[in-house]
Structure 1
């Protein structure tokens, strides 16, 4: 049995989408028979997190869980930890200090058992991965988002040409030098990172989409159509970048032009990233109080059951020049066997998935008229009973991704 040391700051307990993606990967490896120990980070903030009632189903087969916490206040102890991180690893950046404590936990684990691989997820775990890769352990990092938030595409960040500091530049070079295999959820994200990740080679990159776990897919789901109105749900955060303004404008036009056609839009677990009341102001601006509803955050399993009661699942992306991301909610929606309405960049992952028959409706994120016409198309399909379509989802299924590990990742 191969042993894996899995270092994922966001994982246990499940406190958001990143943690859920990582928890599913952990569960998949454990279900496939690998021996896994987890090193994770204690939750730093208690606001805006998922209730964690059901998180144990993803971790029940782990050998052990080791929670590493650090004080995030900027004080003399924090400065000292950053200095220790630099002295221990040769790398440092703000908030990298968690890695030096995580390395200490990993070193204690290595005294007790041998590991064949170290997996890392989200920073600063890449410092931990490089440290042990230099000592001969095969290192497999996953990049669910571009490395360094500053290099995210606009409007999230400054793009690939952002000039990083000297320590980060050396770190980027060593990531490419020491990683055994790099995992990406999408081809477009891989291609984006290859533009600036020095020494990272395409032949050492594998595309592994987010996972549909068998255990989660077996939840009893409500399939019948809502008869009184078309019910649409958006699960997850919205805000300054993923702004719903054009979506609400299109809905307003639809309601005005089709007074006899009834629709409802539900925002589930909204985390507003602009101002505290910007969404309320938008809804009032478009006079949609009778259309738009809200549901507070719930556990992940409970969210799947709520989504099951709706006819269409909505995805709103930021107006990037290219849509490089595979949002985790896409797989959550697919797992629920629901049609997906993506308001996304014209050139991007959602357009790719639309051409593959996986995403049902795609509208240009900056074009209100396109969103309106796509909404009309979706409503016509709802009336005619043509919303649900058969989809080839093999690449997201647990068995396919286990085979990917056996043939391309753990080699």
Structure 2
């Protein structure tokens, strides 16, 4: 993919986590990478929705410096699209509103697209920034893995497997029985991804807006302050948000259609699919093989992105283009790798890590943690009883069971208003309610 910006090298924060240099604030319309006509329509739509706006307010809403907007407003005034509604002590305090002609032009622009948020960034600028802050440049250490799993009952050998897998930059398959903790482990691996990255509010492709920033996915970093619209110094481009590396989790609801651009026929703009929102971060596909779409079709969808680190998309206009695919991908499945049935896909998985039954000692430690969390007094006799029930019924020792059993003891105690206890009678009641066939 061609990029008109040179990827920036990583710098380091005081905490030692790698982070890229900030995209510089544009000084002119040309430096935004956006067509003048697009910026004009965006300003008209924002003024249409906002009524009277001061120059600094328009700057904040478009996330562009005043110096970029001044020529735009001068053109709008010369074309009688806007007018001064109220003068202030300084140029930035002047309030603008649309003229009758401006209202008509804004309505036309809104029929084309209702997007009226922060100005997008150019496709080439997005590709360059994603490369500059790539996950492939991260090095996972044993210390970071131990910190991420601090307080978690997980054998060190298994932790080391996951650490090496993340360093490989290859996709990882975690497989094993339901309840073994696969999703829990995958979510903890997100803590290993250090540093912050810049995420654009939107990107522009062939005059079409694709919204990328999602507040449900992207957590803004504490050190990322708001865009200073009146700051004429060449600082950080306000169209980008400084965020922690994203983590996106999808499950059985995933369909092939969800992996394409989501076009809203009413608003007339696109929303990026989950793998784009996950760029420079972690993408977890849970319950592989349990989706509505067949596992073979879903896995075939990932072959090209996993191989070439790019993904292909198409606009409703027919235009095709590429976006970076810069994510650590973790697949989680209850199925054995051989049962997934696609050898070509399995070859592209760098690591296949089994998470299965745990040892009796680990079961005891998890039971102790579950009791502390649920405020249920721990009893060693309860551990012995549960272990005996597992053996008698030939049930594997899975990491989820202690929490699920203890939570039912807590539920019952809260219902009766009595202190919880781990007597055999109560444990048998909880066991029956959990496994149903006991």
How high is the TM-score relative to the length of structure 1? 0.24
Q: Which has the larger radius of gyration?
A: 2
- Whose relative contact order is higher, 1 or 2, with alpha carbons under 8 Å and at least 6 apart? 2
How high is the TM-score relative to the length of structure 2? 0.23
